[in-house]
Structure 1
Amino acid sequence: MWFKSNIQGTPRIVIDLSDQMAYFYKGGRLAGMSPVSTGKPGHRTPTGNFRISQKKYSHRSNLYGHYISPRGYVMRSNVDVRRHRKPAGSRFRGASMDYMMRINGPVTMHAGHVPGYPASHGCIRIPWHMAKIFYAHAKVGTKVSVVP
């Protein structure tokens, strides 16, 4: 939900892991909020204070995705290239991470499926329509706080 597109001021994002919510502030005033899906057990989203270090409209994961046959069919889905061997003749296609904003090494905020509980490999998934808005209003250097 985006409340105020005309608010001026420095943007800041707060990710609340317990609520599975993202809050977007401008000039200290709440401008919008959205449900998110953060890291599942074993892949927890790190807490702390970060800054957006990179933005990329269309991005693909280099760790998670699918193995694709030479004919273009998915041979194996939901792979982790560090754990799952690539079948002979296949190629890797990384999971889509559109509206990607990098906040901490491999951890990003990006558009994706938000089932209502922690389900990611550590990233912060946000629904497509809200990812587009957050992406448009945040810039490289925007502060991001991830709180328990």
Structure 2
Amino acid sequence: MRESIAMCVVTVVMSLFLTGIAGAAEENRRQAGGRETLVGHIARRADQPAQRLESRGGEKTAWKRRVVTPSELEQISEKDPDLYPVAALEILARINTRARYHIAEDVQKGRPILVPDDFTHYKDWSPVPEVLPSAFRIPKLILIVKDIPFIGWYEHGKLVGDSLICIGKRDSWTRAGTYRVLNKDKDHVSRSYTNAYGQPAPMPWALRIYGHVWIHAGDIEKGYCSHGCINLPWFPAIELFQWADTGTVVHIMESTGQGSDGIPGMASNRRLSGSP
């Protein structure tokens, strides 16, 4: 846990979508001693101080950019059976925002990547909060954080799944804001872009949130590699697709840092600090 967690301000514009929860928002505001909750932000379109939230990650640890070898990963596995090679690669994938198969290639070819000083601290690590107290009255919420980038999905404010993601190469290509899942399409294909063979690019397990922007399974070469869609690895994309409903709330926020319109409770500037 970081020693200090920035208090940030959530700015969301969503009254059109959640008019039915305005009463609950007012009740939440009173119960919070006058502080506006996330539900209140959404229903009232207000800019109020948000609650301090907890994030996962255990003890404060760090990582360094260096080469990690296959033999080193094997030694880690021998010391801790939970950290079998695939599990260690998954930790590296989450820290580097890069698909596990790309990380495996990086390891084999001796490319420098971010490597934790102690893998044991990252077994259950996530840069998004495990609990969002101010979202307890929202049945389902998908949270996307652009500066990490990472996605988490919540039931009544409790994290039920998360994943590294790839978002737009340019900042404006994935717009911050609050939306709903408009459509679900397990076998969606792009009408705008083609694959390497000149065919419409597949976008499987897709959830449309606005315009031509979908959350879907795709390659995660790095954190910013899409035309605006939010790409997940294959299995998390399936999990999210099966979990989400048409109408599920989706909130895309710019940053977790100080002075941003982020939700507190997440480690700010994790890439610079090297800490969860």
TM over 0.5: yes
1:114 maps to which residue? 220
1:147 maps to which residue? 253
Show structure 2 runs of 5+ residues with no match: 1-123, 125-129, 131-137, 255-276
SS of equivalent to 2:235: helix
Counterpart Cα distance in 2 of 1:43 and 1:118: 12
2:200 maps to which residue? 94
Counterpart Cα distance in 1 of 2:244 and 2:195: 30
1:23 maps to which residue? 152
Whichever residue aligns with residue 193 of structure 2, its letter is Y
Whichever residue aligns with residue 114 of structure 1, its letter is I
Is contact 1:20-1:116 (8 Å) kept? Answer: no
Whichever residue aligns with residue 116 of structure 1, its letter is K
Label 1:22 to 1:10 Cα distance change in 2 as closer, same or farther (>3 A).
same
Which protein is bigger by CA-based radius of gyration?
2
SS of equivalent to 2:242: helix
State the percentage of identical aligned residues.
Answer: 31
1:14 maps to which residue? 143
TM norm structure 2: 0.41
- Higher helix fraction (1 or 2): 2
Is residue 123 of structure 1 aligned with residue 229 of structure 2? yes
- Higher strand fraction (1 or 2): 1
SS of equivalent to 1:49: strand
Q: Which of the residues 168, 192, 198 maps onto 1:39? A: 168
* Aligned length, in residue pairs: 119
SS of equivalent to 1:59: strand
Give the C-alpha shift of residue 37 in structure 1. Answer: 0.1
Show structure 1 runs of 5+ residues with no match: 4-8, 68-73, 78-92
TM norm structure 1: 0.75
Is residue 48 of structure 1 aligned with residue 153 of structure 2? no
Could you say which structure has the greater relative contact order, defined with CA pairs below 8 angstroms and 6 or more residues apart? 1
